Amino acid sequence: MSFKFIIEIKSKIINNGKWKKLILKKNFVCLMEINVHGHELWGAIDEVLSALEECKIKNERGINIIHGYKHGQVLKNYFRSNKFLGEMTREGFRLKLKDTSDPAISSFVIL
């Protein structure tokens, strides 16, 4: 896993087995990371919704979704689409896609 966009900030990673949470010490921003690489689309959506519920409970402000891209692009295309953002809004999660240079990860700010 790569955290290229935050290399200069000291951080601590907490792993509870299913999700990884990156806690940035500089300004106390929490970022959850979930790996859905290899999942079917509907299973991946369920996992992301569970992770977003966890973010809501813990008042976290960001999420990285690791979806991969080399062996099919269904997950990547969906998570980077306006359809995904609209469906998450209907579920009660307002997200904003962040620019990322890694094609295997989609990063979102939780508004």
User: Is the pLDDT reported for residue 16 higher than 80?
Assistant: no
Higher pLDDT, 2 or 75: 75
Cα 98 from Cα 109, distance rounded (Å): 7
d(CA 92, CA 36): 21
- pLDDT level of residue 109 (50, 70, 90 thresholds): very high
d(CA 107, CA 51): 13
| pLDDT of the residue at 30 | 60
**Higher model confidence: residue 76 or residue 22?**
76
Give residue-wise pLDDT tens across range 23-45. 554 444 567 889 998 899 999 99
DSSP string, 31-58: EEEEE-TT--HHHHHHHHHHHHHHHHHH
pLDDT digits (tens, 9 = 90+) for 57-95: 888 888 999 999 888 899 999 999 999 999 999 999 999
- pLDDT, mean of residues 5-30: 46
Q: Which domains does the chain have, with CATH numbers?
A: 10-110 (3.30.1370.110)
